[in-house]
Structure 1
């Protein structure tokens, strides 16, 4: 009996040590996933999709839609599976015009971050658009902080228009209060407009809090459009992004959560491959 007890304790210790090991040298924890990656599956079966994601070893999700559920219903489904929503994506108009309902949903979901994916625009970014956005971000950021949340803006490419000695994105960063407004880097929508994601992370090490890990096929040209055909979203490490450089810079920044974002229709094959790549680094 003593020998059996000893072996059980030994096995438990091995399991504990294994679980404590880092995910990879450059990504310390198992990355999360953006709900948009599984948008088609979530649109048909939310519980089944959560089970599928958890089977990949992912328990942290950034939701940009509730997929027909209330915030409380989605929270219950996550809790049942030992999963969490750490970031809640909403629209620019929502934070500007109905902040109270956004904050209530965020509280129900138990998130730490509230983010928006872009600023409404019909053409290139302008000084007026960026200055107005800075005002909206500071105002909502103050409301979010009062409720215990951090607001983040997810760049979408068009913000990198030249301005002065830098870009309009630089202006947005300088005109927003660092205590109230953080940023979520979309690596592809930083790289395609001609920016170096690693250098931008190094330039603003304390402003980025979240990051979308998304790669782009090698034949996609540079553009600030913030869009590409779905099939051009490829397995991490097989496209144009220098991931070791990006992740090394990210590890020295204030980024807390990493999320895999795959816009392709082959996500069920590609996401596990992307995770394997990250773990190998």
Structure 2
């Protein structure tokens, strides 16, 4: 190599050495940001009024994944009837795929660079219509199908939770046969003993860890007096999905978190990610270390969805995670 080429190469290498750390940091932030999604119960009214426009907004902010909530066309009739009663009270009616067929929805998701790895479905639908759930899931790209809540009748006493475990194991095995993974999202109940046994611990210990996964909602676990980080560290591999919320100040349920009234009392303490009291960076890092793959921002029915999503994304996408 002659002297001129050697000098040119040295200059380029020196320049690259200065650029690489910045480039690497930028790539890390991009990769980290891609992991964040939106649980769509954050903005159901916006989706009901302008579904495609809302998907576009979510995509433009930078989120990459969505989690849908039911009921769907394939849901059992009782779930649809229950939703009609609740939707009127809540002030919006849209749910499921918001009038789109699975193929139409997949096209829209592709258009805006979005995926939908996870959905919430009611338990009876998963028990009775798993084939139909799977058919739609494989078109759209769902990998995880789970429930947002155990039906009231199944969580009144320890015997009910024993029945729940049996159902979860059966649904989990059936989901696996259909190429899906079943999960349970906890709303904060089941963390206080019933007949000397903590129901949530009983579920963890008596369900198949390969076919029954959990979705941690960090807000509701905190409200139940449970340390999210300890729960994640003590149960590696069980929580592949998280709902990320923040809490304006640390609050716990007045009772056992069993009723809608107790949940609604804590709604005023929902905060944009990074603006509250929860150690979200530590929680997310612990979740990643324990095998979590999907992180969905959720601020239930927020009246200002765009600012909530933007503020939260600004925080989440700049975390210094490893």
TM-score calculated relative to the size of structure 2: 0.75
Deviates more, 1:216-225 or 1:78-87: 216-225
1 or 2, which has the higher helix percentage? 2
Gaps of 5+ in 2: 1-15, 70-95
The correspondence for 1:63, drawn from 65, 68, 77, is 68
Q: For 1:63 and 1:153, how far apart are their aligned partners in 2?
A: 15
The correspondence for 1:250, drawn from 249, 272, 287, is 287
Gaps of 5+ in 1: 1-9
Deviates more, 1:27-36 or 1:129-138: 27-36
CA 1:171–1:144 in structure 2 vs 1: closer, same or farther (change >3 Å)?
Answer: same
Alpha-carbon shift at residue 172 of structure 1 (Å): 0.4
Match of 1:270 in 2: 308
CA 1:144–1:84 in structure 2 vs 1: closer, same or farther (change >3 Å)?
Answer: same
**Count of aligned residue pairs for this structure pair:** 268
The correspondence for 2:36, drawn from 31, 40, 50, is 31
> What RMSD, in angstroms, separates the aligned Cα atoms of the two structures?
2.6
1:42 equivalenced with 2:47 (yes/no): yes
Match of 1:6 in 2: none
Deviates more, 1:180-189 or 1:63-72: 63-72
- Give the match's secondary structure for 1:74: helix
Contact 2:63 2:313 in 1 (8 A): no
Match of 2:172 in 1: 141
Q: For 1:219 and 1:207, how far apart are their aligned partners in 2?
A: 25
* Structure with bigger gyration radius: 2
Runs of 4+ in 1 over 4 A off after TM superposition: 16-19, 122-125, 163-166
Q: For 1:122 and 1:180, how far apart are their aligned partners in 2?
A: 23
The correspondence for 1:96, drawn from 114, 127, 139, is 127
Alpha-carbon shift at residue 195 of structure 1 (Å): 0.6
Alpha-carbon shift at residue 181 of structure 1 (Å): 0.8
1:85 equivalenced with 2:121 (yes/no): no
- Give the match's secondary structure for 2:264: coil
Q: For 1:77 and 1:194, how far apart are their aligned partners in 2?
A: 40
Query: Alpha-carbon deviations, 1:5-64, whole Å to 9, x = none?
Result: xxxxx9xx99x967732358xx57441111111211111111111101011011211111
